[in-house]
Amino acid sequence: MNKKLVVLCISSFCLFVALWWAIHYPTVMSMDQTLLTSFRAWGWLNSLSLLGASVTIGVCSIILVLFLLLRKRVYGMVLVLVAVAGGYGLNTWIKHVAGRERPPFSHEEGFSFPSGHAMMSSIYLLLAAYLLGKEVEQRFARFLMYGISILLALFTGISRLTRQVHYPTDVLAGFALAASYLSLCILVYEFFQKK
């Protein structure tokens, strides 16, 4: 078993739970409001919200599944479907349970915690890096794939703050839940790969 993934899964989940607990405190709400206003100056990141849109994630996931189909990686295809579809379901369910309203003047519908864009962009971008990295022998190329994926996911999450549709804790919780859930999916995938 991959011990690093186990540690990442557990620690990320603990961070997520701590954030969920913290958003109910007035001090955290006040900090969220203050931090949110400071991101208005980063408007140049607004367009990166597109990377976390359902259409983008759907198209990229289909392309990844087709690539894995050509390579006859059946478990990889299942991993993509479970990670992406399961991630959507998990995010939607937690949003309704948490029931946190979006920031004032937000033009988007639905609840705010955790950020779906931050969570889902992290899942599909890091999953693509993980699966495509297995097809590449050069260590530097794998490092580059992970680096670009992390950077794009980070910017996608920040773009939700620049657009003023999520609080910083929502975005951080989206990243934490993505790391925990994706780690769990990869652990199960690696278990079945070894069998």
Q: What tens digit of pLDDT does each residue of 23-60 get? A: 999 999 999 998 988 888 877 878 888 888 899 999 99
pLDDT on residue 136: 83
Instruction: Give residue for tokens 């946190």.
Output: 100
Q: Is the pLDDT of residue 138 over 90?
A: no
In the chain, domain spans: 3-194
Q: How far is CA 101 from each of CA 15, 24, 36, rounded to the nearest angstrom?
A: 21, 12, 14
Give the mean model confidence (pLDDT) for residues 159-181.
95
Q: Is the pTM for the entire model greater than 0.85?
A: yes
Long-range contacts made by residues 127-131, C-beta under 8 angstroms, separation at least 24? 127/64, 127/79, 127/80, 127/83, 127/84, 127/182, 127/185, 128/60, 128/64, 130/186, 131/64, 131/68, 131/73, 131/76, 131/79, 131/80
| Cβ atoms within 10 Å, residue 135 | 13
By CB atoms closer than 10 A (0-12, 13-18, 19+), residue 146 is middle
Average pLDDT over residues 97-104: 90
86: tokens are 């399961």
